[in-house]
């Protein structure tokens, strides 16, 4: 069979990025964020590879159960906590560490009868206004939780940056000051930094950092690249040319017929489409690497195929290799053309795409 749509997952690059993060925040322990199947990279594989990670974090309890069932024994933080009282029993059973961010979650843990106590993290809203309790509520929550037999150890504290990728945003200083003040009276461990916090805000590292995207070699800044910041892309999305066609000036290509060639040229057809997770919204001109050379997407992306303008002098042939993003073509650059962020590109790869581990 001809190899077509595939992602290559580079475990050396993953290790390299972890070490880079460790160097950036040498005094902090690392919670490797592997939600969303490790941003499309395979959570079990990533967890098994990152033996040095001090803990992992996911968004949903189902993701955490998959990790435990695969034999991952390290602490797992539930970033949005338990969504119902029953889930607390599962969390206790597997020793997950739920975040608590609203009154219902507090009530649930106070009234539960857990077989074993759990470590909990209190989420404080320091300015993002998505989830979290307000700073003035912290004392009440800490008192209640500290007195509960269902809670083990000190209550930890988390908050989340909303503009840490913007290097001159004053809101990050404000969030940092708010977090420091709200948590100062308490002995619990603190965690504030996502990847942007790790890379750009060294004052914000505290006891635990929570990098996600940087682990995968992608910059948290839309206007930068992981490569430019000393990271290496872990995922490379590749496929193959399945047709090369002569194309006359004035002819259109694909659905809608909007793209029209302005000269005689050759069109390459790639076995890659939105059925693989390549965004249908990618406009003409989005870069693609064919035989290591950058060419432009031409016409609409369809479910199983996309077409590129190889140019009139091109020598590319059926079976030649194509890179959609990753090694040689930063996902950040592709994302900019599409009007999204690389986070969304990597996580949307579908199950049809083959996986190769290198």
Ligand X SMILES: *Cc1c(COP(=O)(O)O)cnc(C)c1O
220 binds ligand X (CB under 6 A): yes
303 is in an annotated binding site: yes
235 is in an annotated binding site: no
Q: Are 321 and 281 in contact (CB under 8 A)?
A: no
Asked about 255 being catalytic, the answer comes back as: yes
Candidate ranges 11-19, 206-214, 267-275, 293-301; the one touching ligand X (CB under 6 A): 206-214
Q: Are 39 and 212 in contact (CB under 8 A)?
A: yes
Q: Which residue number, 29 or 93, has a Cβ lying nearer to ligand X? A: 29
Q: Which residue number, 156 or 212, has a Cβ lying nearer to ligand X? A: 212
DSSP 221: S
Using CB under 6 A as the binding criterion, the count of chain residues that bind ligand X stands at 12
11: enclosing H helix or E strand = helix 11-24
Among 12, 86, 255, 294, the one annotated catalytic: 255
CA angle 169, 220, 23 (to 5 degrees): 100
Q: DSSP assignment of 88-147, as one string? A: HHHHHHHTEEEEE-SHHHHHHHHH---SS-B--EEEB-SS--SS-B-GGGHHHHHHHHHT
Q: Which residue number, 268 or 326, has a Cβ lying nearer to ligand X? A: 326
Q: DSSP assignment of 157-217, as one string? A: EE---SSTTSTT-HHHHHHHHHHHHHHTT--S-EE---HHHHHH-GGG--SEE---GGGGT
The least CB distance from residue 325 to ligand X, in Å, is 17
CA dist 92 and 348 (Å) reads 31
User: Which residues within the stretch 1-60 sit at the binding site for ligand X (CB under 6 A)?
Assistant: 33, 35
Contact with ligand X (CB under 6 A) among 5, 72, 92, 213: 213
Contact with ligand X (CB under 6 A) among 210, 247, 266, 300: 210
End-to-end CA distance of the chain: 20
Q: Which residue number, 63 or 309, has a Cβ lying nearer to ligand X? A: 63
CA dist 245 and 251 (Å) reads 12
160 binds ligand X (CB under 6 A): yes
The least CB distance from residue 342 to ligand X, in Å, is 10
Coil, strand or helix at 302: coil
195 binds ligand X (CB under 6 A): yes
Asked about 248 being catalytic, the answer comes back as: no
212 binds ligand X (CB under 6 A): yes
156 binds ligand X (CB under 6 A): no
Among 22, 23, 27, 35, the one annotated catalytic: 35
Q: Which residue has the tokens 């000036």?
A: 249
Q: Which residue number, 172 or 195, has a Cβ lying nearer to ligand X? A: 195
101 binds ligand X (CB under 6 A): no
Q: How far is CA 102 from the centre of its chain?
A: 25
Candidate ranges 87-95, 112-120, 210-218, 312-320; the one touching ligand X (CB under 6 A): 210-218
- Binding residues for ligand X, rule: CB under 6 A, are 33, 35, 79, 160, 194-195, 210-214, 220
Summarize the annotated binding site for substrate as residue ranges: 130, 303
| Catalytic annotation, residues | 35, 255
């Amino acid at each position: 069979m001809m190899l077509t749509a595939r992602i290559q997952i580079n475990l050396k690059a993953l290790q390299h990025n972890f070490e880079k993060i460790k160097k950036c925040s040498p005094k902090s322990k690392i919670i490797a964020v592997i939600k969303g199947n490790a941003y499309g990279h395979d959570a079990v594989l990533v967890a098994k590879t990152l033996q040095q990670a001090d803990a992992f974090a996911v968004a949903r309890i189902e993701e955490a159960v998959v990790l435990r069932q695969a034999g991952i024994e390290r602490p797992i933080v539930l970033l949005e906590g338990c969504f119902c009282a029953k889930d607390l029993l599962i969390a206790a059973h597997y020793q997950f560490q739920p975040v608590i961010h609203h009154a219902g979650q507090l009530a649930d843990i106070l009234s539960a009868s857990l077989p074993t106590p759990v470590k909990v993290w209190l989420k404080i809203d320091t300015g993002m206004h998505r989830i979290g309790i307000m700073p003035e509520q912290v004392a009440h929550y800490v008192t209640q939780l500290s007195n509960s037999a269902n809670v083990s150890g000190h209550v930890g504290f988390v908050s989340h940056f909303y503009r840490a990728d913007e290097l001159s945003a004053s809101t990050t200083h404000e969030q940092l000051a708010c977090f420091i003040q709200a948590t100062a009276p308490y002995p619990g461990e603190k965690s504030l930094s996502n990847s942007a916090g790790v890379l750009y805000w060294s004052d914000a590292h505290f006891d635990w950092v929570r990098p996600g995207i940087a682990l995968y070699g992608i910059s948290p800044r839309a206007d930068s690249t992981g490569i430019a910041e000393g990271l290496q892309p872990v995922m490379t999305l590749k496929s193959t040319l399945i047709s090369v066609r002569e194309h006359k000036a004035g002819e259109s290509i694909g659905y809608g017929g909007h793209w029209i060639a302005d000269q005689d040229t050759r069109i390459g057809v790639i076995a890659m489409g939105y059925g693989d997770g390549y965004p249908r919204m990618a406009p003409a001109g989005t870069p693609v690497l064919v035989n290591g050379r950058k060419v432009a997407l031409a016409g609409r992306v369809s479910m199983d195929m996309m077409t590129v303008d190889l140019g009139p002098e091109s020598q590319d042939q059926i079976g030649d290799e194509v890179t959609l993003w990753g090694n040689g073509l930063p996902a950040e650059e592709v994302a900019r053309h599409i009007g999204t962020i690389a986070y969304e590109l990597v996580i949307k790869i579908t199950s049809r795409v083959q996986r190769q581990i290198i």
